[in-house]
Amino acid sequence: MNPTSRQLTETALLIAVAVVIEFAFRILPRQPQGGSIDITMLPLIILAYRQGFLRGLLGGMIFGVLNFLLSGLALHWGSFFLDYLLAFGALASAAWFFRMGRESAVYFGLGILAAGILRFALHVVSGVVFFGEYAPEGTPVLEYSLTYNFTYMGPSIALTLVIGLLIFDRLKPLLDR
């Protein structure tokens, strides 16, 4: 099914906002671990709120591709799919919570939380594959991946949640046009 031109331009602009946030507004600039603490997820989740799961999935994946084209690093064979395509596409899962109730900020928060945790899980899986490939046998791969990814995903999710809830009421009329 073809989108309307409005849906198309809206997807593009929200992705552009995400890129601008990703590159220009690092909340805590340059973490030593590589992952950064930021609120890139917010515009993509708002896209899922506006246009539903499938369009949100497409938008998230396109952001992943764009992010990869602009500064991508894939350290193992699955990284492109897990860390870029699926991790950002997974943010659209928030749309399932938005279906339960669009009026209250509670569901918006739940959506952000679920989307963030799913993205975190995908990064963890990617880390397991990565360390599985590079670390010696017998290393507690899962624990390392969990800790490593949590150091930046944990604060990112918390920050996105707080800021998302703060702007939800102000953006509400715009989001429900």
Q: Which of residues 58-87 bind other proteins (CB under 8 A)?
A: 58-59, 62, 65-66, 69-77
In whole angstroms, how far apart are CA 107 and each of 11, 15, 95, 149?
A: 22, 23, 10, 25
Q: Is residue 136 a contact point for other proteins (CB under 8 A)? A: yes
CA distance linking residue 56 with residue 60, whole number of Å: 6
Phi-psi sector, 30: left (phi>0), alpha (psi -120 to 50), beta = left
**From the centroid of its chain, how far is CA 22?**
11
Site for other proteins, residues 8 to 27, rule: CB under 8 A: 8-17, 19-20, 23-25, 27
> Does 172 interact with other proteins (rule: CB under 8 A)?
no
Residue numbers at the binding site for other proteins (CB under 8 A): 2-6, 8-17, 19-20, 23-25, 27, 30, 32-34, 39, 42-43, 46, 58-59, 62, 65-66, 69-77, 131, 134-136, 139, 159, 162-163, 166-167, 170-171, 174, 177
